[in-house]
Amino acid sequence: MIAFCLRRALWMVLTLWIVFTATFFLMRAVPGGPFDGERALEPEIEMNMLRRYNLDKPLHVQYGLELWNYCRGDFGHSFKLGDYTVNQVIAEGLPISIALGLLALGFAVSLGLLAGITSAVCRGGWADVALMLVATIGIALPSFVVAGICIIFFVFLIPLFPAAGWGELNQLVLPALCLGAPYAAYIARISRTSMLDVLSQDHIRTARAKGVGPVRVVMVHALRGALLPVVSFLGPAIAGILTGSLVVEQVFAIPGLGSHFVYAALQRDYTLAMGLVMLYTVLLYSMNWIVDLSYAVLDPRVQLE
């Protein structure tokens, strides 16, 4: 376990350096700059701004200074948000995005597992057909389309939730449901297939032959083995929820990191965009790391190599 974690930590450092290098040079290769706009700055003011952010130095010097600052945990000042540092923006927006992502993931896992297990147990019945039809539609529709449909139904036709905003629980339910719905559909199909495979194995037939009840057979003997493909999907699912929240946060006007990321991309805010890219990279790599560790917990036959 210790050797596995050390190897993963080394690969994480290498991955972060590659992502940092690629992002740094790609942002500066795009035509235009952070201080280009309809209203041109005075030459003296523009020179002072470039000097403040080290943009007046050669590119390789900028790269070295920026890399050293990131090694110290200093993401620098935002170009467009006044006196805000990138660390302050992340500290304010990250809890909001995490709350939205965790609630969306909770919706996806709970609804997906419930639908998948029910569909597997009722294989060939009307419940199986109906649930898989809904899951197929959920996979086909992106989150912003689901968000538009939910706003029409649950805000205008049936006013249960507010259309946008942040601060109360009812303002979080609708965007979390829209964000997690496509992944609930994926989990439903994966868990159905996995559950059908486990239910056909010998130890399940043995448990039934011993007189174990159907609920205990499904929830105790079959569910643990059926969770392995679902757990392996959670890594990409968390990645999709984090990146998909960019659109959902814009639709529902949620002040999370997604709105800041879109703003940084549109305004050529180099430091803010770079800081958010590195943060997302750390989060995604950590989630995949946790998924690999959970494999050994769910199935003792799996060895971490």
* pLDDT at res. 40: 61
Q: Does 96 share its domain with 224? A: yes
CA end-to-end span of the chain, whole Å?
Answer: 9
Say yes or no to pLDDT of 293 above 90: no
Mean pLDDT value of segment 248-253: 81
Q: What SS3 state is found at 54?
A: coil
Q: 18 falls in which pLDDT band (50, 70, 90)? A: very high
Q: Under 8 Å CB-to-CB from 65, ≥6 apart: which residues?
A: 54, 57
What's the CA gap between 58 and 290, in Å, rounded?
Answer: 40
- Residue 281 in domain: yes
CA 176 to CA 166: how far, in whole Å? 12
pLDDT score of 37: 58
Q: Are residues 111 and 29 in the same domain?
A: no
Which pLDDT band, with edges at 50, 70 and 90, does 17 fall under? very high
- pLDDT over 70, % of the chain: 88
> Does 91 share its domain with 67?
no
Q: What pLDDT does residue 244 have? A: 63
pLDDT value of position 52: 72
Tokens, residue 215: 């609920």
CATH assignment of the domain containing 265: 1.10.3720.10
Which whole-number Å values give the CA distances from 174 to 104, 146, 149, 264, in the listed order? Answer: 9, 10, 11, 26
Per-chain mean pLDDT for the chain: 79
- Grouping H, G, I as helix, E, B as strand and the rest as coil, residue 79 is coil
- Cα 73 from Cα 131, distance rounded (Å): 47
**Number of folded domains that form the chain:** 2
Q: Are 161 and 26 contained in the same domain? A: no
Task: Tell whether 48 and 173 lie within a shared domain.
Answer: no
**Nearest Cα to Cα of residue 227 among 174, 176, 291, 282:** 291
Please indicate, yes or no, if residue 80 is contained in any of the structural domains.
no
pLDDT tens, residue by residue, 32-58: 666 665 556 666 666 777 777 777 778
- Any idea which residue has 């080394």 for tokens? 10
28 and 59 belong to one structural domain: yes
Confidence of residue 219 (pLDDT cuts 50, 70, 90): confident
Residue 116 shares a structural domain with residue 60 = no
User: Is 111 found in the same domain as 23?
Assistant: no
State the residue range of the domain holding 22: 17-71
Same-domain status, 145 and 60: no
Task: Give the tens place of pLDDT for each residue, 155-177.
Answer: 888 888 887 777 777 788 888 88
Judgement on whether residues 26 and 61 belong to the same structural domain of the protein? yes
Place of tokens 């059926």: 226
| Total-model pTM | 0.73
